[in-house]
Amino acid sequence: MIRLIKNANNYLKRRAIISDGADYSYKNLLDASEIIALHLLNSTKDLNEARIAFIVQPGFDYVSIQWGIWRAGGIAVPLCISHPIASIKYVIEDSQVSTIVFSREYETLISPLHGNPELRFFCIEEFNSKSGILPIIDDNRRAMIIYTSGTTGSPKGVVSTHHNIEAQITSLIVAWEWNQNDHILNVLPMHHVHGIVNVLCCALWIGACCEFLDKFNPEKTFNIFCKNEVNIFMAVPTIYFKLISYYNELPGDAQQKISESLKRFRLMVSGSAALPISIFEKWKQISGHTLLERYGMTEIGMAISNPYKGERKAGYIGQPLPDVQIRLVDENDLGVYEGDPGEIQIKGTNVFKEYWGKPTETLESFTKDGWFKTGDISIFENGSYKILGRDSVDIIKSGGYKISALEIEEVLRLHPQIKDCAVVGLPDEEWGEIIAAGLVVSDKELNLIELTEWLKNKLPNYKTPRKYIILDDLPRNVMGKVTKKELISLFNT
Residue 428 placed within a domain: yes
Phi/psi at 204 (5° precision): -75, -30
Strand intervals (E) in 382-449: 384-390, 395-398, 401-404, 418-428, 432-441
DSSP label at residue 463: G
pLDDT bracket for residue 478 (50, 70, 90):
confident
> Does residue 160 sit in helix, strand or coil?
strand
> Does residue 37 sit in helix, strand or coil?
helix
Q: What angle do CA 240, 19, 139 make, to 5 degrees?
A: 90
- Report, as an integer, the average pLDDT of 176-183: 98
- Report, as an integer, the average pLDDT of 30-39: 97
- Report, as an integer, the average pLDDT of 335-343: 93
- Report, as an integer, the average pLDDT of 254-273: 95
Residue 402 placed within a domain: yes
Residue 463 placed within a domain: yes
**What pLDDT shows up at residue 389?**
78
> Does residue 75 sit in helix, strand or coil?
strand
Question: Which region, left, alpha or beta, applies to residue 296 given φ > 0 means left and ψ of -120 to 50 means alpha?
Answer: beta
Most confident of 279-283, 345-349, 455-459, 486-490: 345-349
User: Of 70, 104, 137, at which residue does a domain stop?
Assistant: 137
Residue 284 placed within a domain: no
- Report, as an integer, the average pLDDT of 381-386: 93
Sorted by sequence, the CB contacts under 8 Å of residue 256 that are 6+ apart come out as none
What is the full DSSP assignment across 475-489?
Answer: -B-TTS-B-HHHHHH
> Distance between CA atoms of 208 and 439, rounded to whole angstroms?
41
Residue 480 placed within a domain: yes
Percent of the chain exceeding pLDDT 90 equals: 79
What CATH number does the domain containing 434 carry?
Answer: 3.30.300.30
Of 72, 74, 76, the closest CA to residue 50 belongs to 74
What CATH number does the domain containing 21 carry?
Answer: 3.40.50.980
DSSP label at residue 12: T
CA 155 to chain centre: 15
User: What are the pLDDT digits (tens) for 267-322?
Assistant: 999 988 778 888 899 999 999 999 999 999 999 999 999 999 999 988 899 999 99
Poorest-confidence range of 123-127, 145-149, 437-441? 145-149
Residue 167 placed within a domain: no
**What pLDDT shows up at residue 277?**
85
CA 84 to chain centre: 20
Instruction: Share the mean pLDDT of the chain.
Output: 93
The amino acid at residue 135 is P
Most confident of 112-116, 128-132, 235-239, 352-356: 352-356
- Report, as an integer, the average pLDDT of 396-424: 88
Of 280, 187, 47, the closest CA to residue 478 belongs to 187
Checking if the pLDDT of 152 tops 70, the result is no
Tally of structural domains, the chain? 2
> Residue 44 sits in which domain range?
3-137
**What pLDDT shows up at residue 150?**
56
Are the C-beta atoms of 43 and 132 separated by less than 8 Å? yes
Residue 335 placed within a domain: no
Q: What share of the chain is helix, strand, coil (3-state, %, to 5)?
A: 35, 25, 40
**What pLDDT shows up at residue 462?**
85
Residue 226 placed within a domain: no
User: Of 74, 102, 137, at which residue does a domain stop?
Assistant: 137
CA 272 to chain centre: 5
Of 166, 152, 167, 196, the closest CA to residue 365 belongs to 152
pLDDT bracket for residue 153 (50, 70, 90):
low
Poorest-confidence range of 46-50, 106-110, 128-132? 128-132
Strand order in the sheet with 384-390: 325-329, 342-347, 372-381, 384-390
Select the more confidently predicted residue: 215 or 318: 318
pTM of the model: 0.86
User: What are the pLDDT digits (tens) for 73-87?
Assistant: 999 999 999 888 988
**What pLDDT shows up at residue 374?**
94
Parallel, antiparallel or unpaired: strands 75-78 and 395-398:
unpaired
User: Of 137, 171, 198, at which residue does a domain stop?
Assistant: 137
Which whole-number Å values give the CA distances from 154 to 84, 88, 358, 491, in the listed order?
Answer: 15, 13, 12, 22
Are the C-beta atoms of 250 and 223 separated by less than 8 Å? no
